[in-house]
């Protein structure tokens, strides 16, 4: 039997490598097969170990710690898996995967990402062989049939971009893969590169052939070192197999792919800023038009697609565009990957056909809110997106339907919030992000986001003024209309959607100096419940400003004028007597 | 305070010479400089500017644009706490504050003994384990303020 360890970044962080090392130590005689795979997307269950018998998965073990190593080794050696029962994945957790339809993630967590033969064994590099016998026009036509749209955020039809780059005039054309994955809370691109790098390479080769590009780049964010290592290995293996470089598989088509590391700038996810960065400059967006299809990298025709977009391409070629288009809704075809995070019970990567509802994903697959909390909102599209409230949970996952809520499909970040999350503070958090990441080229974005952040900050500090919400709205409209690039144009979205759906929270902060979620520190009010206080004096001793007074064994009181709301009393009290309001 | 000047290593010089002719080389070169020294020393930036024929002002512009590049040496252990959305929601900022408090340094600062520095980063892609911190490439997940002391102790013990 063979033990396969899930070694994506999450698995490694949870200790997968330590468990494997412990097993390998016992396995000096090699009685047991040991292998690795990427990320299956069930972050909440890491580390995950799969037991294979002759190529078939016989058991999936979860939350496996180092202490389990001897049992793992013994079981795999003897074939008696009964002692591992306590690690076996539960039926509920199995549902997390069973309810998904995986195309972009089809191999993630199932094959060894560092072994090209493993990819070839699951029909890898068959699509490129098929494509090399087709005309580029036919390839583009097949992608058109599929209805594939860009998964990086904007959702632009992929065939259209390929066609524009194909028809653009220029000797040298470039293909670029956007692996900057800037939305904090989204990690599907990382998972694809770490777990199935060859499917990205194959998708890129097909695109390069369709467009007529002979040079390609993958722009990977510097925060993803493992992705860079795995992709480097995969590129070297593909090159050795004649799948990359000059005269690929004797077809006369040549294409080289190089990795370029980003350096931590959110705006570099925007395509023209990314191109500037590739050229070695500050990542300042360019004015569009001209679009990259005409004048991109070094002013030559270029096409940029997202990692997940490319990951679908080989599947579409092998199974036909119609099979892809058969899934989804009128305006959104195929599947989409979401990164489910925040206050969710089962967090991880979820790939589902378009057209399911948000409720299906958050409650049906994600299992609802963790720790018995209540759902408040889901944030989609990161700093460019918005918050969708409870009454819209039956919204279909579809570019148009999500857009109508004021949020966006985005790259697939789905951050779930419960009743303890203050929506004004969330808006402040995103504006803090965009204000810091604004490249500073245009005034609307540079100064507008800063002003919005200041206003939101003062509201969360209880210093908001009547009229602040209207002022925010005015600024939002101005920035949307005036900003140069997508960063600024979408930066107001988190503010606009929270005002639209949670206006009452803004009003409570401004008019009553009250934070309904009890999150904003400055607005918290600490009081002692005399019925519960035993007069143990612990809180009075802990209080750094001497705001708590009282005699021993008598209920104490907090002097509100002295209290700095540090919360140390509440953390110290053993009797739950401190009431936070 | 006088500071010892860094010397350009032969490997780095060879790397820069190799990349000199390739377009868009500057960010790759700066990555290598930072890999070598842990930051981008001014004297090396000046030499790089001379080899590449790129004005120092442009190099400074690029360094300061990107969050990843730093102009000052980080601690021997660089603690990067994630403040991406998922981590923030699960208390990443409390973890960050606890590190600052226990080490007695502010954000982007290094302890006087040069052992630790503290930085905030945006999303490390391990959101499933939020809140997350990375210390010299090692990821620590599902953190709470209570874990901070142990993490610091662990690296102190490693010296
Ligand atoms: C501020 C900003 C950040 C972006 N970040 C990303 C990103 O991290 N990854 C990505 O693929 N696309 C990002 N995009 C979208 C890209 O500009 C571009 O539309 C996309 O890479 C095209 O690929 P697609 O058609 O396959 O989606 C961003 C756009 C903006 C305005
Ligand atoms: S938000 Fe912290 S790792 Fe993604």
Band (pLDDT 50/70/90 cuts) for residue A477 is: very high
**Token pair recorded at residue B37:** 């020294």
Please give, rounded to a whole number of angstroms, the shortest distance from the CA of B1 to a CA of chain A. 30
Helix, strand or coil, per DSSP, at residue B101: helix
CA distance A67 to A345: 26
Name the helix (H) or strand (E) containing A390.
none
Is pLDDT of A172 > 80?
Answer: yes
Average pLDDT, chain A: 96
Helix, strand or coil, per DSSP, at residue B46: helix
Pocket lining: A425 vs ligand 1, CB cutoff 6 Å: no
Residue B21: per-residue pLDDT:
84
Q: pLDDT (tens digit, 9 = 90+) per residue, A380-395?
A: 999 999 999 999 999 9
CB contact under 8 Å between A264 and B88, yes or no, is: no
Q: pLDDT (tens digit, 9 = 90+) per residue, A410-420?
A: 999 999 999 99
Count structural domains, chain B: 2
Q: Is B40 on the interface with A (CB under 8 A)?
A: no
Band (pLDDT 50/70/90 cuts) for residue B24 is: confident
Whether residues B39 and B87 share a domain: the answer is: no
pTM of the model: 0.95
Name the helix (H) or strand (E) containing B27.
helix B26-37
Of A450, A458, A449, A457, the closest CA to residue A491 belongs to: A449
Whether residues B84 and B47 share a domain: the answer is: no
Q: List strand residue ranges (DSSP E) for A142-274, in order.
A: 174-179, 215-220, 256-261
Residue A580: per-residue pLDDT:
86
Whether residues B87 and B143 share a domain: the answer is: yes
Pocket lining: B126 vs ligand 2, CB cutoff 6 Å: yes
Tokens 């911190």 belong to: B133
More confident residue, B63 or B3: B63
Is pLDDT of B4 > 80?
Answer: no
The reply to whether domains A2-89 and A116-324 share a CATH topology is no
Q: pLDDT (tens digit, 9 = 90+) per residue, B55-82?
A: 999 999 999 999 999 999 999 999 999 9
CA distance B3 to B21: 33
Bond prior to B131 in cis (omega within 30° of 0): yes
Residue A156 near residue A144, CB atoms below 8 Å: no
Chain B residues inside the 8 Å CB shell of A185? 84-86, 123, 127
Cα A47 to Cα A7, A9, A87, A285, A408: the distances in Å are 8, 11, 11, 40, 32
Measure CB to CB from residue B128 to each of A266, A348, A439 and give the nearest one: A348
**What is the mean pLDDT of the segment spanning A125-150?**
98
Q: pLDDT (tens digit, 9 = 90+) per residue, B115-158?
A: 999 999 999 999 999 999 999 989 999 999 999 999 999 999 99
Of B144, B142, B124, the closest CA to residue B134 belongs to: B124
Of A379, A313, A329, A23, the closest CA to residue A139 belongs to: A313
Which of B39, B65, B91 is the last residue in one of the domains? B65
Angle between helices B42-52 and B56-65 (to 10 degrees): 120
Q: Say if domain A335-418 classifies as CATH 3.90.550.10.
A: no
B70 within domain boundaries: no
Q: pLDDT (tens digit, 9 = 90+) per residue, A423-442?
A: 999 999 999 999 999 999 99
Question: A178 C-alpha vs ligand 1 centroid, how far in Å?
Answer: 7
Average pLDDT, chain B: 93
Cα A390–Cα B95–Cα A510 angle in degrees, nearest 5: 50
**Domain encompassing residue B81:** 77-158
Pocket lining: A316 vs ligand 1, CB cutoff 6 Å: no
**For A125-129, which contacts have Cβ atoms below 8 Å and span 24 or more sequence positions?**
A125/A198, A125/A202, A125/A241, A125/A243, A126/A314, A126/A318, A127/A202, A127/A206, A127/A313, A127/A314, A127/A315, A127/A317, A127/A318, A128/A202, A128/A205, A128/A206, A128/A209, A128/A243, A128/A248, A128/A249, A128/A314, A129/A249
Q: Say if domain A116-324 classifies as CATH 3.40.50.11540.
A: yes
CATH of domain A2-89: 3.40.30.10
List the domain boundaries for chain A. Answer: 2-89, 116-324, 335-418, 423-512, 524-580
B1 within domain boundaries: no
The CATH T-level fold of domain A423-512 is de novo design (two linked rop proteins) (1.20.1440)
CA distance A178 to A188: 13
Is pLDDT of B23 > 80?
Answer: no
Cα A274–Cα A279–Cα A280 angle in degrees, nearest 5: 95
Q: Which residues contact A63 (CB under 8 A, 6 or more apart)?
A: A45, A46, A47, A87
B146 within domain boundaries: yes
Band (pLDDT 50/70/90 cuts) for residue B1 is: very low
CB atoms < 10 A from the CB of A348, how many? 26
Percent of chain A, pLDDT > 70?
Answer: 100
B44 within domain boundaries: yes
Which of B19, B34, B65 is the last residue in one of the domains? B65
Q: What are the two backbone dihedrals, phi and then psi, of residue B59, each rounded to the nearest 5 degrees? A: -60, -45
Is pLDDT of A400 > 90?
Answer: yes
**Token pair recorded at residue A440:** 């500073």
Whether residues B84 and B151 share a domain: the answer is: yes
Whether residues B97 and B60 share a domain: the answer is: no
Q: Is A526 on the interface with B (CB under 8 A)?
A: no
**For B102-109, which contacts have Cβ atoms below 8 Å and span 24 or more sequence positions?**
B102/B148, B102/B149, B102/B152, B103/B152
Name the helix (H) or strand (E) containing B125.
none
Whether residues B84 and B141 share a domain: the answer is: yes
Name the helix (H) or strand (E) containing A50.
strand A49-53
Q: Which among A151, A177, A178, A336 is the best mutation to test ligand 1's pocket, defined by most ligand atoms within 8 Å of the CB?
A: A178
**What is the mean pLDDT of the segment spanning A447-456?**
98
Residue located nearest, by CA, to atom 6 of ligand 1 = A269
B71 within domain boundaries: no
Whether residues B109 and B38 share a domain: the answer is: no
**Token pair recorded at residue A366:** 């994600």
Alpha carbon A100 to its chain centroid, in Å, reads 17
Q: Is A571 on the interface with B (CB under 8 A)?
A: no
CA distance B85 to B130: 9
Alpha carbon A229 to its chain centroid, in Å, reads 20
Local structure of residue A420 (DSSP, 8 states): T
Band (pLDDT 50/70/90 cuts) for residue B3 is: low
Q: Which of B82, B127, B146 to mutate to test the interface with A (most CBs of A within 10 A)?
A: B127
Q: Is B115 on the interface with A (CB under 8 A)?
A: no
Which of B43, B65, B87 is the last residue in one of the domains? B65
B26 within domain boundaries: yes
User: What CATH number has the domain bearing residue B101?
Assistant: 3.40.30.10
Whether residues B50 and B16 share a domain: the answer is: yes
Q: What are the two backbone dihedrals, phi and then psi, of residue B110, each rounded to the nearest 5 degrees? A: -120, 145
B72 within domain boundaries: no
Whether residues B120 and B49 share a domain: the answer is: no
**What is the mean pLDDT of the segment spanning A186-213?**
98
Whether residues B83 and B139 share a domain: the answer is: yes
Tokens 């909390």 belong to: A373
Residue located nearest, by CA, to atom 2 of ligand 1 = A270
Class (C level, CATH) for A524-580: alpha beta
Tokens 């299809």 belong to: A293
B3 within domain boundaries: no
Residue A259: per-residue pLDDT:
96
Q: What are the two backbone dihedrals, phi and then psi, of residue A303, each rounded to the nearest 5 degrees? A: -125, 135
Band (pLDDT 50/70/90 cuts) for residue A565 is: confident
Q: Where are the alpha helices (DSSP H) in A376-422?
A: 399-404
Whether residues B57 and B82 share a domain: the answer is: no
**Token pair recorded at residue A342:** 């925040």
Residue B159: per-residue pLDDT:
82
Whether residues B84 and B126 share a domain: the answer is: yes
Q: pLDDT (tens digit, 9 = 90+) per residue, A205-257?
A: 999 999 999 999 999 999 999 999 999 999 999 999 999 999 999 999 999 99
Local structure of residue A245 (DSSP, 8 states): B
Strand A56-61 relative to strand A557-558, pairing: unpaired
Residues listed for chain A: 581
CA distance A79 to A541: 60
Q: Which residues contact A89 (CB under 8 A, 6 or more apart)?
A: A45, A60, A61, A62
């Amino acid at each position: 039997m063979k033990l396969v360890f899930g070694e994506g970044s999450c698995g490694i962080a949870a200790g997968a490598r330590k468990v494997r090392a412990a097993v390998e130590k016992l396995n000096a005689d090699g009685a047991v097969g040991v292998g690795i795979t990427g990320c299956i997307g069930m972050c909440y269950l890491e580390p995950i170990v799969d037991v294979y018998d002759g190529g078939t998965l016989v058991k999936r073990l979860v939350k496996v710690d180092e202490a389990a190593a001897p049992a793992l080794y013994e079981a795999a050696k003897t074939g008696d898996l009964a002692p591992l029962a306590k690690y076996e994945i539960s039926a509920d957790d199995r549902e997390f995967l069973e309810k998904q339809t995986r195309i972009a993630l089809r191999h993630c967590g199932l094959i060894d990402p560092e072994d090209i033969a493993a990819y070839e064994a699951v029909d890898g590099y068959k699509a490129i062989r098929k494509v090399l016998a087709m005309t580029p026009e036919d390839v583009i036509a097949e992608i058109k049939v599929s209805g594939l749209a860009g998964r990086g955020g904007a959702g632009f039809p992929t065939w259209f971009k390929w066609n524009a780059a194909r028809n653009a005039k220029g000797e040298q054309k470039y293909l670029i893969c956007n692996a900057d994955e800037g939305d904090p809370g989204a990690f599907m691109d990382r998972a694809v590169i770490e777990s199935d790098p060859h499917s990205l390479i194959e998708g890129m080769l097909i695109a390069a052939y369709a467009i007529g590009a002979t040079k390609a780049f993958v722009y990977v964010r510097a925060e993803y070192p493992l992705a860079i290592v795995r992709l480097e290995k995969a590129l070297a293996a593909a090159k050795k197999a004649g799948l990359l470089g000059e005269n690929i598989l004797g077809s006369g088509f040549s294409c080289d792919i190089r990795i370029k590391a980003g350096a931590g700038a959110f705006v570099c996810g925007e395509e023209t800023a990314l191109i500037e960065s590739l050229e070695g400059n500050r990542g300042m967006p360019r004015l569009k038009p001209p679009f990259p299809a005409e004048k991109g990298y070094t002013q030559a025709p270029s096409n940029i697609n997202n990692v997940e977009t490319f990951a679908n391409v080989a599947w579409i070629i092998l199974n036909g565009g119609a099979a892809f288009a058969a899934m989804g809704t009128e305006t959104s075809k195929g599947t989409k990957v979401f990164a489910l995070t925040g206050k969710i019970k089962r967090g991880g990567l979820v790939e589902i056909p378009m057209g399911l509802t948000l409720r299906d994903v958050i409650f049906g697959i994600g299992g609802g809110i963790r720790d018995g909390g209540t759902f408040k909102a889901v944030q989609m599209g990161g700093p460019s997106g918005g918050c969708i409230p409870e009454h819209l949970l039956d919204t279909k996952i579809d570019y148009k339907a999500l857009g109508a809520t004021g949020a966006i499909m985005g790259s697939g970040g789905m951050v779930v919030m419960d009743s303890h999350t203050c929506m004004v503070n969330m808006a402040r958090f995103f504006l803090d992000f965009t204000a810091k990441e604004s490249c500073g080229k245009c005034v609307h974005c540079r100064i507008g986001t800063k002003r919005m952040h200041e206003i939101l900050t003062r509201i969360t500090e209880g210093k908001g003024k009547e009229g602040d919400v209207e002022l925010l709205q005015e600024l939002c409209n101005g920035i949307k209309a005036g900003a140069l690039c997508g960063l600024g144009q979408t930066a107001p979205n988190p503010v606009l959607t929270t005002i639209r759906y949670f206006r009452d929270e803004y009003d409570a902060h401004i008019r009553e100096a009250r934070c309904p979620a009890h999150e904003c520190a400055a607005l918290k009010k600490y009081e002692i419940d005399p019925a519960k206080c035993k007069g143990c004096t612990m809180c009075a001793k802990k209080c750094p400003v001497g705001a708590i007074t009282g005699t021993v064994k008598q209920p104490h009181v907090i002097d509100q004028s002295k209290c700095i709301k540090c919360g140390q009393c509440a953390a110290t009290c053993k009797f739950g007597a401190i009431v936070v309001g | 305070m006088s500071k010892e000047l860094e010397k350009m290593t032969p490997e780095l010089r060879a790397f820069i010479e190799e990349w000199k002719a390739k377009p868009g080389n500057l960010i790759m070169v700066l990555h290598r400089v930072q890999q070598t020294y842990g930051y981008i020393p001014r004297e090396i930036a000046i030499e790089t500017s001379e080899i590449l024929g790129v004005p120092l002002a442009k190099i400074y512009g690029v360094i300061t644009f990107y969050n990843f590049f730093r102009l000052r040496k980080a601690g021997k252990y660089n603690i990067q706490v994630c403040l991406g959305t998922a981590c923030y929601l699960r208390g990443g900022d409390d973890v960050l504050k606890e590190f600052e408090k226990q080490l007695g340094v502010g954000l982007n600062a290094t302890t006087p003994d040069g052992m630790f520095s503290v930085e905030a980063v945006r999303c490390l892609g391990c959101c499933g384990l939020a809140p997350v911190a990375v210390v010299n490439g090692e990821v620590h997940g599902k953190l709470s303020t209570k874990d901070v002391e142990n993490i610091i102790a662990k690296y102190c013990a490693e010296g």
